[in-house]
Amino acid sequence: MLEPSLANFVRLASVGGHQLLYHPASKADIERDKDAKRRDRTLRRLQQYSILEGTPPCPNNTPQTSANDACDNDILYAIECSAVHALVTEDREIHSKAKQAGLGSRVYTIQTAEDWLRRLHEPTQVHLPNIEDVHMYSLTTQLDNSLFESLRNGYDTPERNFNEWFHEKAKTGRKAWIVRSGQGKIEAICIYAIQMDEAINGENEILKGSALKLCTFKVGEQIRGQKIGELFLKIAFRFASENRCENIFIHTNPNQLYLLDLLNDFGFTKHGQYGNDVVLVKHHPSSPPNKDIPALDYAKLYFPNYRIDPSVQKFLVPIRPKYHRILFPELNQQGQLFNTPSIAGNAIKQAYLCKAQSNQVKPGDIVLFYRTEDEMAITTVGVVERYETHNNAASIMQIVSRRTVYTQAEIEIMANSATKVMLFRLMLHFKNKIPYSFLSSHGITTGPVQSIRKISNDSFEKLLKYSHG
């Protein structure tokens, strides 16, 4: 049934301010329909839309071209000339011709067009502890906040000041992720929007398909060091995955060195300039690309995808529930409060300390975190950045910084003997947690998981299959 999809497509087009037009060749084609009732019914429907005016005829048409083919050619030529953004049709022949002409990505069925607009204007929301997802208009009464004051210089122009810009964007329904202090004051903001086939720089480079734009990215001085930048990236990456955004991009001041370093570390690369801003893009493919590069580099560039081929080692890593709750607060039934003593859970780059005997782990390896005691299940995938042995508390503190669940006092006690320090990148949480019963029944492990242990590639593939349902 196409009627519900068509009605919702029209509704979403109205919500998003998209103009629906028909090509004059379509009307000519309908008028050739010999079924009078169907012809009249279709022509009445056509009156709901405006005509696309001034369309040039396709130069490939000749006197020998059939009327139907000439109609199709004229319609596709309008796309090629960029008279419209996209074509929505149920005509399979036009779809076939569009693919042959290299225009397939701009021709949609009603259902795929509805899905596209739904993702654009009704995106799947993602929730993480410590972050609120709000409409910009809910913040318009708070623009005297010191955080916004620090943004004014970058937005004020002779034609429009920051407040006017903010109100203008709020009217479009744009949203923002914000972080508040314990007193409720906004201390960080990331305004975001999904955009389609966006020209991103002064050279009019187009990001084809759906892209997530991080429009404003600001962390206040009061909460610097709490990994809020990584927390914003964590929710941005997950939002992009849920809504099938193939790219993420941002315009930022080239003097924002901390932000530039952060973005570079997570796979953003420079793509020219937009005015005085530098443009950074991260490719975020929905399907893992086939690239023969080191596993750690792959994980940085194509997060949340990671290399899983047999050359990459896989390890089970036990983690006690109290530490699991701190590192992975988004998995808790009730998320940790913002003022939790540990901020490690905000980060993507995290640390794990243990007394394991294994020296096999190396950068790029996959680690599967197994929550012991209560759930007794694998919940989370990470990719190793560093794995070293230390027995000096100061050295360990310098390496793990604020990325560990352990306090300085606890680290000083651990450092009395050789301690394994593993830095890893949190990649994803399994949709279906993998219980110990599965590990045992499939011969992946025997006995309690009490220390880091390597598993085979075949075992890992069984785990992946189970986790996907």
- For residue 112, what are its two tokens? 């795929």
Q: What is the pLDDT of residue 75?
A: 93
Residue pair 75/87 in contact (Cβ under 8 Å)? The answer is: yes
**Tokens at 109, concatenated:** 């069925």
| 308 backbone dihedrals φ, ψ, rounded to 5° | -125, 10
Residue 289 within any structural domain of the chain: no
- Phi, psi values for residue 226, rounded to 5°: -100, 15
> Which residues of the chain are modeled with pLDDT < 70?
1-2, 119-120, 122, 156, 333-342
Please check whether residues 203 and 146 belong to one and the same domain. yes
Q: Are residues 55 and 134 in the same domain?
A: no
Based on the structure, what is the number of domains in the chain?
3
Q: Within this chain, do residues 453 and 325 fall inside the same structural domain, yes or no?
A: yes
Please give the torsion angle defined by the CA atoms of residues 457, 458, 460 and 462, in that order, rounded to the nearest 10 degrees.
170
Domain extent at residue 89: 3-120
Report pLDDT for 340: 46
Q: What is the pLDDT of residue 128?
A: 81
Q: What is the CATH number of the domain that holds 455?
A: 3.10.590.10
* Residues 22 and 114 grouped into a single domain: yes
Strand-pair partners of 300: none
Alpha carbons 332 and 326: distance in angstroms, whole number = 9
Same domain, 98 and 149: no
pLDDT (0 to 100) of residue 138: 94
Burial of 204 from C-beta contacts in 10 A (0-12 / 13-18 / 19+): exposed
SS3 call for 65? coil
Q: Which residues make Cβ contacts (< 8 Å) with residue 224, sequence separation at least 6? A: none
* Cα–Cα distance measured from residue 63 to residue 357, given in angstroms and rounded to the nearest whole number: 81
pTM over 0.85: no
Same domain, 236 and 116: no
Alpha-carbon dihedral sign for residues 75, 77, 82, 87: positive
Q: In terms of domains, do 19 and 111 share one?
A: yes
Do 141 and 33 have their domain in common? no
Same structural domain for residues 114 and 131? no
How far apart CA 418 and CA 357 sit, in angstroms, is: 10
Residues 129 and 93 in one domain: no
Q: Tell whether 182 is covered by a domain.
A: yes
Q: How far apart are the first and last CA of the chain?
A: 29
Question: Are residues 139 and 256 both part of a single domain?
Answer: yes
| CATH classification of the domain holding 257 | 3.40.630.30
Residue 292 resides in a domain: no
Q: In CATH, what number is assigned to the domain containing residue 64?
A: 3.40.50
CA pair distance 243, 216, nearest whole angstrom:
20
- Taking CA atoms, 451 is separated from 56, 371, 393, in Å, by 70, 12, 22
pLDDT of the residue at 341: 42
Residue located via tokens 């929905």: 286
Q: State which amino acid sits at residue 369.
A: F
Is residue 301 included in any domain, yes or no?
Answer: no
